[in-house]
Amino acid sequence: MSNTSEMSELLMKDFAENYMEALYYFCLKKTGSSYEAEDLTQDIALNILTAIHSGTVPEAFSGWVWQIARNRYSRWAARKHRRSESVTGSDISDYEIADESDNILSEMIHADDLALLRRELAFISGEYRNIVTAFYLEDRSIRDIAASLSLPESVVKQRLYRARKILKEGMNMAREFGKKSYKPEDVSFTSSGSQPSGLPWSAVQRKIPKNILLEASNNPSTIEELSVELGVALPYMEEEVEILHNATLLEKDGDKYVTNFFILDKECREAVYNTLRSTSKERSRLLAEIIEDNLPAIRELGIAAEHITNNEIKWWLIPDAVDYCIKKSFADLSTYKPKPRANGEEWGFVGYETWNLPEYLHMDQTGSTSKEVEYWHYCPGDYGFERLWIGVNDAKMLVDIYNNKTKVDELSDYAKEMIEDHDYRCIHFDENGNAVFDILMIEKDNHKKIRELLESHKNYEALLANFIESNKSLEKIFKNYSHKTLHDTFGYYVRTEMYKIRMMCVHDLVDSGFITVPEAPAKSNIGMYIIMK
């Protein structure tokens, strides 16, 4: 090269961006220790960067990198007195090209074609692919390849010759790949349900698994295709795919893998939003009339202390009624929840490409439940509200105080600490020491009566029809944007997206004046309630 320093800088950048992570996995697989893998990776990187800095400009950069990696590992293994068979290579000379006197390989594939070569490897059979990869990308000798595959050298040469013809034809053709519009940094995930094992989040913390899931979304791909498309060496890709498959995030279809959860791209998200918003004003109007007409009867059930305003009750009734209508919009409730996972857990997982919604539509519903009690908090995602999480034991203690009419001087030290830890948002005591609850305390039978009041209103049939139509419309959208693997799980994704109706109704009804935002939303107990079973 005429400008060696410039080339060295480019090679260093290429190495840092495209090889460091793969080298770490190589070392981790060989050493079995993350500490030793990091140490060995640093040693390999130091040797490579030192050579580049001194002016080395290899023609086949990838093969040269892996030659050094194997040699440094060989020395590491010798120092550790490992068994000789654990060593993958002992000297660079082991990877030199063997005798080519019969001139079968006279027309070599140039280094400039290596990117195309990696692409085309996905389209040839394994018996050819392994030999081509070893010879061109790993710079191994025919003698070495023949020995590792237990084949005569003549057979290796013959297969390499045939593979080259197939590859050259493909490399001269223009292949189109279904590139996604999104990148890992543009995609976020949400989950729901019980996740004691740490899945699915433990499987998607790094960039490589995210890349794999994005590439396989609505795009069934072999491991080889994923390896070529993402530029990850095949052995590491096999391990990553196995992890995602075991985590039930990838479904196997023959020799191909496809994500078994839905990733909504920008176009899909926009279609969902427009569909839900197109009928939202009428939906909000119908719901507001039902709530207003039934509010006196609901208050008579004793779910709220006298000081809790109708406005505060409405803030709870809106999302609670929406959730009930969402559930009633499903003809088959078996599709309403995510399917059990291979490990017995029941959780759902959804991906979203970044898209700026015209309005903020996230409402948390967090809580804790047991056979005796449920605590939930509907926390709007905007207006400045802050979520309060209460555990089952604390919820049980609040119910005991409620049922036993416990006075302030009868509280245990733990109960006092619990109330203080909750920033006094759940309960306070009047001048006589009586407990006054600042959140809704709802007996299970009374919750059922509230639902019956909802259904008995003249607007209910029209409101439910609105939800059913939205349900069907979202299913059509998802069928248009997803692979057939997901078609029997649409219920969960429809339900997840329909929860956006909660905030649509809130926005509509704040705008109309039906509900008002409290003066100090961060300290508000709006949306907090306990169901006593």
d(CA 241, CA 221): 11
User: Could you read off the pLDDT of 275-312 as tens digits, one per residue?
Assistant: 999 999 999 999 999 999 999 999 999 999 999 999 99
State the residue for tokens 């050493």: 31
d(CA 195, CA 289): 39
Q: Which residue has the higher pLDDT, 472 or 482?
A: 472
Q: Do 289 and 238 have their domain in common? A: no
Asked whether residue 348 is assigned to any structural domain, the reply reads no
Asked whether residue 179 is assigned to any structural domain, the reply reads no
pLDDT for position 85: 38
- pLDDT level of residue 103 (50, 70, 90 thresholds): very low
Average pLDDT rounded to a whole number, residues 84-98: 31
Asked whether residue 350 is assigned to any structural domain, the reply reads no
Asked whether residue 145 is assigned to any structural domain, the reply reads yes
How do 256-259 and 250-253 pair as beta strands? antiparallel
Asked whether residue 345 is assigned to any structural domain, the reply reads no
Among 122, 139, 171, the domain-final residue is 171
- Residue 400 CA, distance from chain mean position: 40
In sequence order, what are the residues at sequence separation of 6 or more whose Cβ sits closer than 8 angstroms to the Cβ of residue 506? Answer: 315, 318, 319, 363, 380, 515
User: Could you read off the pLDDT of 150-170 as tens digits, one per residue?
Assistant: 888 888 887 777 776 666 655
What are the b/e assignments for 251-290, b being 16+ CB within 10 Å? beeeebbbbbbbbbbeebbebbbebbbebbeebbbbbbeb
Percentage of the chain exceeding pLDDT 90: 38
Structure tokens given for 86: 């654990």
Asked whether residue 443 is assigned to any structural domain, the reply reads yes
Structure tokens given for 17: 């961006």
Q: Contact at 8 Å (CB) between 89 and 71?
A: yes
Q: Which of 231, 245, 264 is nearest to 203 (CA)?
A: 245
- pLDDT level of residue 97 (50, 70, 90 thresholds): very low
The tally of domains found in the chain comes to 3
d(CA 235, CA 223): 10
Phi, psi (rounded to 5 degrees) for 82: -75, 165
pLDDT for position 136: 66
Q: Do 245 and 296 have their domain in common? A: no
**Boundaries of domain holding 133:** 4-171
Among 238, 261, 284, the domain-final residue is 261
Asked whether residue 347 is assigned to any structural domain, the reply reads no
Angstrom CA distances, 376 to 40, 117, 349, 368, 394, stand at: 50, 56, 21, 7, 12
Q: Contact at 8 Å (CB) between 156 and 142?
A: yes
Residues written for the chain: 533
Q: Do 203 and 91 have their domain in common? A: no
d(CA 126, CA 257): 17
Asked whether residue 176 is assigned to any structural domain, the reply reads no
Q: Do 159 and 44 have their domain in common? A: yes
Q: Do 14 and 163 have their domain in common? A: yes
Q: Do 292 and 223 have their domain in common? A: no
440: which strand partners? 529
Q: Which of 38, 45, 36 is nearest to 79 (CA)?
A: 36
pLDDT for position 336: 77
Q: Do 331 and 473 have their domain in common? A: yes
Q: Do 138 and 277 have their domain in common? A: no
pLDDT for position 441: 97
DSSP at 203: G
Structure tokens given for 75: 């020395």
Q: What is the mean pLDDT of the chain?
A: 82
Q: Which residue has the higher pLDDT, 288 or 355?
A: 288
What are the b/e assignments for 94-131, b being 16+ CB within 10 Å? bbeeeeeeeeeeeeebeeeebebbbbbbbebeeebbbb
Phi, psi (rounded to 5 degrees) for 411: -70, 145
Ranges of H-type helices in 103-222: 114-120, 126-132, 142-149, 153-171, 207-216
- Residue 300 CA, distance from chain mean position: 45
pLDDT for position 112: 40
Among 147, 171, 195, the domain-final residue is 171
Angstrom CA distances, 371 to 346, 368, 390, stand at: 18, 11, 16
Which amino acid makes up residue 23?
L
Three-class secondary structure of residue 18 per DSSP: helix
Average pLDDT rounded to a whole number, residues 22-47: 75
User: Could you read off the pLDDT of 423-462 as tens digits, one per residue?
Assistant: 889 999 999 999 999 999 999 999 999 999 999 999 999 9
Q: Do 242 and 382 have their domain in common? A: no
Q: Contact at 8 Å (CB) between 496 and 478?
A: no
Taking only Cα atoms into account, the Rg of the chain, rounded to an integer number of angstroms, comes to 31
Structure tokens given for 302: 């004793």
Ranges of H-type helices in 251-388: 266-278, 280-300, 310-328
Q: pTM value?
A: 0.65
Q: Do 153 and 194 have their domain in common? A: no
- pLDDT level of residue 198 (50, 70, 90 thresholds): confident
Q: Do 291 and 238 have their domain in common? A: no
Q: Do 315 and 397 have their domain in common? A: yes
d(CA 345, CA 496): 18
